[in-house]
Amino acid sequence: MISGMAWVFGDHISSDAIIPARYLHQRDPHSWSKVVLGDLRPEFAGQVGFGDFIVAGRNFGCGSSREQAPLAIKNAGVGAVIAHSFSRMFYRNAFNMGLLVFTCPEAAARVHDGDRLRLDPYSGLIEDVEQDTSFQAKPVDPFLTDLVSQGGLIKKVRKQITGR
Amino acid sequence: MNQPQTMSQKILASRAGLPYVEPGAIVEAELDMVLANDVSTPMAIRGFKEIGGERVFDPSRVVLVADHFTPNKDVGSALITKEMNEFASSNHLEHRFQGGRSGISHVLLAERGLILPGELAVGADSRMVTHGAMGAFATGVGASDLAAALVTGRGWFQVPSTTKVELGGEMGPWIGGMDIALALLRLLGPEGAHYQSLEFSGPLVPRLSMDARLTISNLMVESGAKAALFPVDQVTTDYLKDKAKRSWASVAPDPEAVYSKTVKLDVTGLEPQAARPHRPHDVAPARRAGYEPVDQVFIGSCAAARLEDLRVAAKILSGRQVHPRVRLMVIPPTPRIMLQAVREGLVETFLAAGGIMGPPSCGPCAGAQLGVLAAGEVAVATANRNYRGRMGHPSSRIYLAGPAVAAASAILGRVADPAEVLS
Task: Please state the domain count of chain B.
Answer: 3
> What pLDDT, in 10s, does the model give residues B300-348?
999 999 999 999 999 999 999 999 999 999 999 999 999 999 999 999 9
Candidate from A24, A71, A153 with C-beta closest to B145: A153
| Predicted local distance difference test score (pLDDT) of residue B1 | 55
Contacts of A163 (CB under 8 A, 6+ apart): none
Span of A67-76, A101-110, B229-238 with lowest mean pLDDT: A67-76
- What average pLDDT does range A134-156 have in this prediction? 89
Binned at pLDDT 50, 70 and 90, residue A145 comes out as confident
Q: If phi over 0 gives left and psi between -120 and 50 gives alpha, with beta otherwise, what is residue B188?
A: alpha
Query: What range defines the domain where residue A107 resides?
Result: 2-139
Tell me if B409 is assigned to some domain. Answer: yes
Q: What is the mean pLDDT of chain B?
A: 96
Same domain, B208 and B143: no
SS3 state at A23: helix
For residue B28, the distance in angstroms to the closest alpha carbon of chain A comes to 11
Tell me if B350 is assigned to some domain. Answer: yes
CATH of the domain at B69: 3.30.499.10
pLDDT above 80 for A26: no
Tell me if B128 is assigned to some domain. Answer: yes
Tell me if A98 is assigned to some domain. Answer: yes
Residue of chain B minimizing CA distance to A39: B394
Q: CB distance from B246 to chain A under 8 Å? A: no
Binned at pLDDT 50, 70 and 90, residue B245 comes out as confident
Same domain, B154 and B76: yes
Same domain, B149 and B175: no
> What pLDDT, in 10s, does the model give residues A70-106?
999 999 999 999 999 999 989 999 999 889 999 999 9
CATH of the domain at A81: 3.20.19.10
Tell me if A155 is assigned to some domain. Answer: no
**Amino acid found at A157:** V
Q: CB distance from B124 to chain A under 8 Å? A: yes
Mutate one of B38, B67, B84, B126 to test the A interface: name it (highest A CB count within 10 A).
Answer: B126
Q: CB distance from B42 to chain A under 8 Å? A: yes
Q: CB distance from B384 to chain A under 8 Å? A: no
- What average pLDDT does range B247-275 have in this prediction? 97
Q: What is the DSSP letter of B319?
A: T
Contacts of A157 in chain B (CB under 8 A): 51, 147-148, 151-152
SS3 state at A7: strand
Cβ–Cβ under 8 Å, residues B336 and B111: yes
Tell me if A80 is assigned to some domain. Answer: yes
Same domain, B341 and B232: no
Tell me if A147 is assigned to some domain. Answer: no
Q: CB distance from B394 to chain A under 8 Å? A: yes
Same domain, B85 and B207: no
**Cα distances (Å, whole numbers) of residue A30 to A33, A73, A156, B128, B393:** 6, 10, 23, 27, 23
pTM: 0.92
Same domain, B282 and B358: yes
Tell me if B250 is assigned to some domain. Answer: no
Q: CB distance from B126 to chain A under 8 Å? A: yes
More confident residue, B110 or A35: B110
Contacts of A154 in chain B (CB under 8 A): 47, 50-51, 144, 147-148
Tell me if A153 is assigned to some domain. Answer: no
End-to-end CA gap in chain A: 28
Residue B68 sits at φ, ψ, to 5 deg, of: -70, -40
pLDDT above 80 for B25: yes
Same domain, B140 and B90: yes
pLDDT above 60 for B136: yes
Same domain, B219 and B298: no
Residue A153 sits at φ, ψ, to 5 deg, of: -65, -40
Quick one: what percent of chain A has pLDDT higher than 70?
Answer: 99
Tell me if B248 is assigned to some domain. Answer: no
Task: Please state the domain count of chain A.
Answer: 1
Same domain, B306 and B392: yes
- The DSSP line for B26-75 is EEEEE-SEEEEETTTHHHHHHHHHHHT--S-S-TTSEEEE--SSTTT-SH
User: Quick check: B51 and A158 CB within 8 A?
Assistant: yes
User: Quick check: B51 and A97 CB within 8 A?
Assistant: no
Quick one: what percent of chain A has pLDDT higher than 90?
Answer: 65
Q: What is the ipTM of this complex?
A: 0.87
Tell me if A156 is assigned to some domain. Answer: no
User: Quick check: B126 and A89 CB within 8 A?
Assistant: yes
For residue A62, the distance in angstroms to the closest alpha carbon of chain B comes to 8
More confident residue, A26 or B356: B356
Span of A15-24, B24-33, B107-116, B200-209 with lowest mean pLDDT: A15-24
Query: What range defines the domain where residue B43 resides?
Result: 8-158
Cβ–Cβ under 8 Å, residues B11 and B137: yes
User: Quick check: A39 and B125 CB within 8 A?
Assistant: no
